[in-house]
Amino acid sequence: MFLNFRRLRRYQCMQLMTTCLVLSVVMVCWEQLDNGVVNHFKSTSYRYLVNSFSYINRSLTVPREEARRFSDFPYLLDHPDKCAGQDVFLLLFVKSRPENVGRRAAIRATWGNESYIQSALGVTVKVAFALGATEAPRRGRSGPQERLAAEDRLHGDLIQKDFLDSFHNLTLKLIMQLHWVHHRCRHARFFMTADDDIFVHTPNLVGYLQEARRRGAADLWIGRVYKGAPPIRSRDSKYFVPWEMYQWYAYPDYTAGAGYVVSGEVADKAYHASLTLNASLYIDDVFMGLCANAVGLSPQDHAFFSGDGRTPYHRCVYERMMTSHGHVEDLQELWAAATHPQVRRAASGPLGRLYCAAVRVALLCRPSATYPCKAAFS
């Protein structure tokens, strides 16, 4: 009897310790669980069951005078006549930071080379770099700004306004682009905004847009689409959005800000929407989703826009790719490989097409793949 009592006490102690351990783990992991699984469940339910995005837009609508504070910054560098008198097929705006001189140089030499695009593809593409201001001029030191002015005199492609260039001002940078397009290059057929560490397969993109134009796609908006994505509520994330800033469980559908393309008509509608929306939300691609949702537009997912990831290096992928994210040092190498004539030859003919289809399945139908598996069959 005494032994049974001791065993019972030991069993109860172990049970108590196990319970305490489980509760401790749950308490430690609850925030991550809530920010992950629970938030996604809430956002999906909100998008498909509640679907009050129209209410969100009404709540974020402000008088034009109040919205003007997000755009009324003076230009430090500008080129009002960059598009004047030209039939601009694509205006390509690259979001860059003032110190990223090397990245801009690599883009000008590769996928953003206007002369190459004109001669090889037969269309006019204008490339501009969107920048905010450095802190130096605000402290009376003009060195960094003088270097930017010298770079701009050489290349004539920097568009800069006098707000601090920072992650939390990315929405201001998007609004600057929309305003510049509307006032300086409204006749451009298409508009693309992209990060300066992205690779754009310009020949593939131009070919796709030419076909879209022939089909009469007026309200075109393509990229990597996020549907019903939840706001990030973890303070450890740079994408943290407090409840006071955005009080709903899901964002309207939007495309990843690393790179997406809209038609001129969509760019103009987004511009007009931005004139009456509160732009305090500093996630710029989400703000674009809010602008588009306000005028009844939805993005179209394109399997070969990579969003935030880097795509596999293979000629059978290059044949279809539009964008790949996370390229700085290897940009020149990737451009040479992706645009090599061998890429087209390798995928031509029945055997070439069959080979590339098998390669794409092997590369893209994996959990870690940047492009979705459906890209292998498109």
Q: Are 293 and 252 in contact (CB under 8 A)?
A: yes
Q: Which of 118, 112, 108, 111 is nearest to 88 (CA)?
A: 118
Q: Closest Cα partner for 223 from 248, 265, 197, 191?
A: 191
Count of residues making up the chain: 378
Residue labelled with tokens 């080129």? 79
Alpha-carbon distance of 126 to 39, in angstroms, equals: 41
Tokens (6 digits) for 173 = 């940078």
Asked if 88 and 185 count as a contact pair (C-beta separation under 8 A), the reply is yes
Note whether 178 and 77 are within 8 A (CB): no
Give the CATH architecture of domain 66-301. Alpha-Beta Complex (3.90)
CB 174 within 8 A of CB 255: no
Among 281, 308, 306, smallest CA distance to 293 is for: 281
pLDDT of 21 reads: 67
Q: Which amino acid does the sequence have at 322? A: M
Interatomic CA distance for residues 176 and 133, integer angstroms: 13
Amino acid, single-letter form, for residue 308: D
Closest of 365, 89, 63 to residue 214, by C-alpha: 89
DSSP state of 261: E
Encoding tokens for residue 142?
């003009």
Question: Domain ranges in the chain?
Answer: 66-301, 315-377
User: What pLDDT is attached to residue 31?
Assistant: 46
Nearest to 319 by CA among 281, 371, 278: 371
pLDDT value of position 363: 93
Alpha-carbon distances of 176 from 49, 137, 181, rounded to whole Å: 35, 20, 9
Instruction: Report the b/e string of 60-93 with b at 16+ CB within 10 A.
Output: bebeeeebeebbebeebbbbeebbeeeebbbbbb
Q: What is the pLDDT of residue 303?
A: 94
Q: From the CA atom positions of the chain, what is the Rg in Å?
A: 25
pLDDT for residue 33: 45
Q: Which H/E stretch holds residue 130?
A: strand 124-133
Positions of the chain with pLDDT lower than 70, given as ranges: 1-54, 136-142
Q: Which pLDDT score is estimated for 136? A: 61
CA angle, 356 then 357 then 361, to 5°: 115
